[in-house]
Amino acid sequence: MPSEFTVRVNGTSVAVPIGSTVAVAMAIAGQPCRTSVTREPRGPLCGMGICFECRALVNGIPHSRTCQILCEPNMEVRTDE
C-alpha cells in the first residue's frame, strides 16, 4: 500500500502522507490558507477547528476548516478565491 497520495492545492499537485489533514497539505505546498480582510496571509493557529484561520475551498465547498478534514486522493483545494 502506498504511504502517500496526491492532492491539488491551487492547481499544483502535492504528495501528502496518508492520514494528513488538508491544512497539512497546504503547509507542505508552502501556501498560506487564506488572505485576511486587510490582505494578510494567514495559516493555521489552533489546529483544532476553532479559529477558522485555516479555512479554504475544498472540493468546491467554501469556508471548510481544513485542519478538521482528512485529505482524499485527488482532492481539489483552493486558497485563491
Q: Where do contacts with other proteins occur on this chain (CB under 8 A)?
A: 16-21, 23-24, 27-28, 32, 36-38, 40-53, 55, 61, 63-64, 67-70
Give me the long-range contacts of 49-53 (CB less than 8 A, separation at least 24): none
Taking a C-beta distance cutoff of 8 angstroms, is the pair 33, 40 a contact? no
Q: Which is nearer to other proteins, 10 or 51 (CB)?
A: 51
Burial class (CB in 10 A: 0-12, 13-18, 19+), 52: middle
* Residue 11 CB, nearest approach to other proteins (Å): 20
At its nearest, how many Å lie between other proteins and the CB of residue 50?
Answer: 5
Angle at 12 between CA 8 and CA 15, to 5 degrees: 60
Nearest approach, Cβ of residue 76 and other proteins (Å): 14
Name which of 1 and 61 has its Cβ closer to other proteins. Answer: 61
